[in-house]
Amino acid sequence: AMRQHTGWDRAWAKRAPKKKYDAIIVGAGGHGLATAYYLGKNFGITNVAILEKGWLGGGNTGRNTTIIRSNYLQDPSAAIYEKSRSLYETMSQDLNYNVMFSPRGVIMLAQTQHEVRGYKRTAHANALQGVTTEWIDAARVKELCPIMNIDGPRYPVLGGLWQARGGTARHDAVAWGYARACSDMGMDVIQQCEVKAVRQENGKVVGVDTTQGPIDCDKLGMVVAGHSGVLAQMAGFRLPIESVALQALVSEPIKPCMDVVVMANTVHGYMSQSDKGEMVIGGGTDGYNNYTQRGSFHHIEETVRALVETFPMIARLKMLRQWGGIVDVTGDRSPILSKTPVEGVFVNCGWGTGGFKAIPGSGWAMAELMAKGQSPLTDEFSMFRFREGKFIDESVAAGVAH
């Protein structure tokens, strides 16, 4: 008989949890998987389990709109986001898995004088940080994205911040590629395994209780995005995080018409075109804290209304589907990669609306923090910075209205 699509090895092995691991990572999103991958690749720590309550990549990693850029303002942000963007350049080769990194370029539009000043400032900061971005005028914006109406009348395009090596990647492939590489190193990726409690003795972590039983560990990495507050509560401390839904939608597929990513932050909308031809569209976060992973009608209306002056063609599109993810937002719109009050417990969260782009850099840095107790890439992102007033303000660069 002809063998068609049978006899394939599983991309990652299905194993029952062992009694004990050197390190447990909670959350098999991109950040959790990348953390495990670099623990193995950079530090030889492979007695690792990644525990996922649902399915691998089913959180924000599989729900985001995949924009990758590193045009942030502050030096610690530029360091970690540019490290991440540069790791995306070679990720398909590193993982031997096609993550479809597409550095098609990202424009952040300036549609007010305030934004013109803000983005010119960012372009200067990026030049000092070694991040290649450029302030471009309205005519160049139109050249890069001809479907755009730059004349207003309400919000004419005045120019933009252009990052030519920003772009997109296939979100599921990033999760799947890391998962396969972790499994190949002998790590256990365990799905449908929810962490319910964090066990500690004398202020040090000793294990977790899960829906698949108790599992011991020496080190624990909490990498659960919108559920970070819930995990922190299990370990007995609080995090300065708010969880809120961020929604997105896609149109019916149409012919290729836009080969850059555009973010229009004054009007609260952004758009790119997927390889299938769908226009991928998103707006600001929901206006209230919630754990609802769903879309809502008013969000479609608000977002399409926001974008239709700048992209008149979307008035004629049918919208195909919408969804939501729970993002973990900090007060300064920067992430937390940190030790915690519990010895052996580390936390990686607070990426909010913008962590897809950060997956490889965050995993690289978090692995170093967990392996060595310190990383130059995470030094400034401690959870204790909020107590000390050392904020890393990225409210403009976050690019998505909160």
Binding site for ligand FAD (CB under 6 A): 26-32, 51-54, 58-61, 63-67, 194-195, 223-225, 227, 231, 246-248, 282, 325, 327, 351, 353-357
What is the rounded distance in angstroms from the CA atom of residue 338 to the CA atom of residue 199?
19
Site string for ligand PYC, 380-399 (x = CB under 6 A): -------------------x
* Smaller CB separation from ligand FAD, 148 or 220: 220
**79 touching ligand PYC, by CB under 6 A:** no
Tokens matching residue 1: 């008989």
* Smaller CB separation from ligand PYC, 71 or 375: 71
Q: What amino acid is encoded at 196 in this protein?
A: K
Q: Residue 261 pairs with which residues in a beta bridge?
A: 106
Q: Residue 220 pairs with which residues in a beta bridge?
A: 24, 345
Q: How far is the CB of 270 from ligand PYC (least distance, A)?
A: 5
Residue 17 DSSP symbol: P
Q: Report helix, strand or coil for 309.
A: coil
What is the rounded distance in angstroms from the CA atom of residue 165 to the CA atom of residue 184?
31
Contacted by 59, from ligand FAD, ligand PYC, none: CB < 5 to 8 Å by type: ligand FAD
Q: Name, in order, each residue with C-beta under 8 angstroms of 381's C-beta and a sequence gap of 6 or more.
A: 76, 80, 334, 335, 336, 337, 338, 392
What is the rounded distance in angstroms from the CA atom of residue 344 to the CA atom of residue 216?
12
Nearest to 272 by CA among 257, 255, 294: 257
**Residue 73, CA distances (Å) to 79, 104, 123, 330, 396 in order:** 10, 22, 8, 16, 8
Q: Report helix, strand or coil for 283.
A: strand
Contacted by 375, from ligand PYC, ligand FAD, none: CB < 5 to 8 Å by type: none
**In the bound complex, which residue of the shown chain has the CB atom lying closest to ligand PYC?**
354
What is the rounded distance in angstroms from the CA atom of residue 354 to the CA atom of residue 351?
6
**66 touching ligand PYC, by CB under 6 A:** no
What is the rounded distance in angstroms from the CA atom of residue 90 to the CA atom of residue 67?
17
Q: Which of residues 277-296 bind ligand PYC (CB under 6 A)?
A: 282
Q: How far is the CB of 371 from ligand PYC (least distance, A)?
A: 28
Residue selected from 39, 56, 67, 220 as contacting ligand PYC according to rule CB under 6 A: 67
**270 touching ligand PYC, by CB under 6 A:** yes
* Smaller CB separation from ligand PYC, 271 or 366: 271
Q: How far is the CB of 285 from ligand PYC (least distance, A)?
A: 10
**In the bound complex, which residue of the shown chain has the CB atom lying closest to ligand FAD?**
29
Contacted by 51, from ligand PYC, ligand FAD, none: CB < 5 to 8 Å by type: ligand FAD
**354 touching ligand PYC, by CB under 6 A:** yes
Residue selected from 243, 348, 353, 375 as contacting ligand PYC according to rule CB under 6 A: 353
Tokens matching residue 353: 């609306």
Nearest to 230 by CA among 211, 243, 247, 246: 243
Place of tokens 């090596």: 165
Neighbours of 124 (CB within 10 A): 13
Q: Which of residues 91-120 bind ligand PYC (CB under 6 A)?
A: none
* Smaller CB separation from ligand PYC, 189 or 223: 223
Interacting span for ligand PYC (CB under 6 A) from 46-54, 62-70, 315-323, 373-381: 62-70
* Smaller CB separation from ligand PYC, 67 or 110: 67
Q: Contact 362/80 with Cβ under 8 angstroms?
A: yes
* Smaller CB separation from ligand PYC, 35 or 66: 66
Q: What amino acid is encoded at 235 in this protein?
A: A
Contacted by 194, from ligand FAD, ligand PYC, none: CB < 5 to 8 Å by type: ligand FAD
Q: How far is the CB of 289 from ligand PYC (least distance, A)?
A: 18
If you count them, how many residues does the chain have?
A: 402
Q: How far is the CB of 68 from ligand PYC (least distance, A)?
A: 8
* Residue numbers at the binding site for ligand PYC (CB under 6 A): 65, 67, 69, 270, 282, 353-354, 399-400
